[in-house]
Structure 1
């Protein structure tokens, strides 16, 4: 196993672990800032004083979180003012990096086998559907393992 493969597996483990830790976690309808502030029993003025900003700035941050316009820096500063830690992550929707890789490999394999099947059909050498499905599976495993340079391109 190469060093590159080992490092890539370590990264996959980190991402998969994060995904497992946040499985089912969804932002509350009023956003994290307002939810945590309310859970702590803090007013907007309380948070503003701790941050050294106006109450309006806290309200603006809470609204910006809901619309997706808040910065990571603002989330972190507001969280710290409430005695909290701001955490963010990017995780696979399925929960596993391998699922994303397998889906891309299957997409590539299906395209390759589809093209070959069309050419064979033109020459009256069409393979049965079960043979085509088997070849897609075999090629999917091979492509996922090798991850060729054009792996993430859609061509």
Structure 2
């Protein structure tokens, strides 16, 4: 009787191990990317130097500084204050050993009846990721919030 239980337990462990290995192999590194929001006064000098090239565009980009990977989302040039951007999640997907990212960002616009200063602004969000390599491609998905 004891032999049957040992065989049953060994078989269950084997099936679980095969399932776990299959899950790991089939994901190929897919999933969410951990990141920390970088406050405006903590943005690295090199990023501050390259931002003017990209601030007029609405896009997501990545840069590597001191072996750290940063993701930047810019909203473009705005004629008033009151616009904002926040990075909500970043998902990675391996495709033929190339890393692709999808960045999900929330956009906030000023309300129609809101009084805002008439100044040129460039809403930007910067995050420090836990990635070890630069992505090959970045897709930006946006969601407007009230």
For normalisation by structure 2, the TM-score amounts to 0.23
For normalisation by structure 1, the TM-score amounts to 0.22
Q: State which structure, 1 or 2, has the greater radius of gyration over its C-alpha atoms.
A: 1
More strand by share: 2
